[in-house]
Amino acid sequence: MNRLQISILFVLGVAMMPFCSRERSQQYSTLADSVKTEFLHSWNAYKEYALGHDALKPLSKTAHDWYAHSLLMTPVDAFDTMVLMGLEKEAAEAKQMVLDSLRFDHDMEVQAFEITIRLLGGLLSGYELDGDRRFLELATDLGNRLLPIFDSPTGMPYRYVNLLTGKIRSSEKRSNPAEIGTLLIEFGTLSKHTENPVYYDRAKKALTELYKRRSDIGLVGTWIDVETGEWISQSSHVGGAIDSYYEYLVKAWLLFGDEECKRMADESLQAVHRYVADTVRSELWYGRVDMHSGERTMRVFGSLEAFFPALLCLAGDVDRAAALQESAFRMWNLHGIEPESIDYNSMKVTGSQYHLRPEIIESAYYLYQYTRNERYREMGKKMFADLVKYCRTEAGYAYLEDVTTGKQADAMESFFLAETLKYFYLLFAPDDVLDFDSVIFNTEAHPVRRPTS
């Protein structure tokens, strides 16, 4: 090619640029609209077959409640997604449902972690977005009913509590880092809005008590006795049962400016990079090791671990985040949709289900925010097309029993509306929908305002 041909190509390239980028934003805004359509498809199915219940069962077109009384998981979890999507009618419906019918004075035992991230988080972000103090009143009532979980000899919370009597399930003395350490965003935000420090203090103590029990090489295990503080399982990783402990160390620092959380996060992540990170075929993965020796025990990674690139972005490590996201996307593409877990050495599926999980999409969204590289929106485009292809049903979306066969199963978790579709939407939507830097998302994707905003 001579210099003249190169110059012509350059001029054409420059002339086409605004056109290409206009085309591209049009394409993504159409995708954002499609996500909204799928959200409405799921919400309308919930309304038709499961109104007033916790969740929809999309294949049998029936309802599911977690406990003896519904706690309206789906409307609470979905409300802020509706607000962000500009679905005013649906947001008003969900709000009405929550304010008219949600009560917590039920004589039943609930799992504190799930109730905190879905309901307390949902009510607090609802309050911040909508401004109606009744959201905050519900959140305060719930927070008070959950407080007895912290009454253990160590201050690390018990897992189950009776909402009416405040009695904890004394037979369940074990818990895990995720359930112990994933309370501070919600309890801390409740403290901020009620000006009562008790919620922040109890949740912060739980986090530091857990951190204090890290091994000599700086890692935590999977299960611990909250009464004795002794480890029950020494397996260390960044997957389910540990994952959001690391997430909240970083996020509590960013949200509350808590420097102690930053120190704990920095030291923990260093140990994780040193021992848990693994390189296979030049790909970055995070597997499983013994928390005391750092010896590798398993080369497994899964859909829950896929949140880690998002956290790495927040922690300022975009290179590692980008490398890990490539590995996670490889896992997604093995069978056209990600399995719960794989052996990343053999690339064989070890957990075949896909629970409509959000983590890999959340990471694509963070990476796009940090790099503006269209690669991440293209990933999202592929993943959204796969989601619709495999999981859409006549009534909402179904999780997959087996990603290798595409067999669907009868559940649509509330996090599908709180997280999965929210992150897809935010990945494709124009920036003015939400200023990424002005919020911290709790682990259920409920945005909480950062103080500087």
Residues that bind ligand DMJ (CB under 6 A): 117, 244, 357-359, 415, 419, 443-444
Task: Give the count of alpha carbons within 13 A of 87, CB side only.
Answer: 24
Rounded to 10°, the helix 421-428/374-391 angle is: 140
Told to judge if 186 belongs to the known catalytic residues of this protein, a careful annotator would answer no
**What DSSP string describes 212-263?**
HT--TTS---SEEETTT--EEE-EE-SSTTTHHHHHHHHHHHHHH--HHHHH
Nearest distance, CB of residue 153 and ligand DMJ, angstroms? 27
For residue 127, the Cα-to-chain-centroid distance in whole angstroms is 20
Pairing of strands 160-162, 174-175: unpaired
From the list 77, 186, 359, 386, the catalytic residue is 359
Told to judge if 114 belongs to the known catalytic residues of this protein, a careful annotator would answer yes
Nearest distance, CB of residue 6 and ligand DMJ, angstroms? 50
Nearest distance, CB of residue 306 and ligand DMJ, angstroms? 9
Told to judge if 374 belongs to the known catalytic residues of this protein, a careful annotator would answer no
Nearest distance, CB of residue 120 and ligand DMJ, angstroms? 13
- Chain residue whose CB lies nearest ligand DMJ: 443
Instruction: Number of helices (H) and strands (E) in the chain: give both, helices first.
Output: 17, 19
| DSSP annotation of 57 | E
User: In this complex, which beta carbon is closest to ligand DMJ, that of residue 237 or of residue 357?
Assistant: 357
**What DSSP string describes 326-363?**
HHHHHHHHHSSS--SEEETTTTEEEE--B----HHHHH
- Say which residues have a Cβ less than 8 Å from residue 324's Cβ, sequence separation at least 6: 284, 285, 286, 308, 309, 312, 363
Q: Read off the tokens for 77.
A: 């979890």
From the list 340, 362, 386, 444, the catalytic residue is 340
From the list 80, 114, 258, 362, the catalytic residue is 114
Nearest distance, CB of residue 441 and ligand DMJ, angstroms? 10
- Calpha distance 68→142 (Å, rounded): 17
| DSSP annotation of 158 | P
Nearest distance, CB of residue 99 and ligand DMJ, angstroms? 24
- In 3-state terms the chain splits into helix, strand, coil percentages (rounded to 5) of 55, 15, 30
From the list 243, 247, 413, 419, the catalytic residue is 243
User: In this complex, which beta carbon is closest to ligand DMJ, that of residue 28 or of residue 245?
Assistant: 245
- Calpha distance 363→328 (Å, rounded): 10
Told to judge if 305 belongs to the known catalytic residues of this protein, a careful annotator would answer no
Q: Catalytic residues, which ones?
A: 114, 243, 340, 359
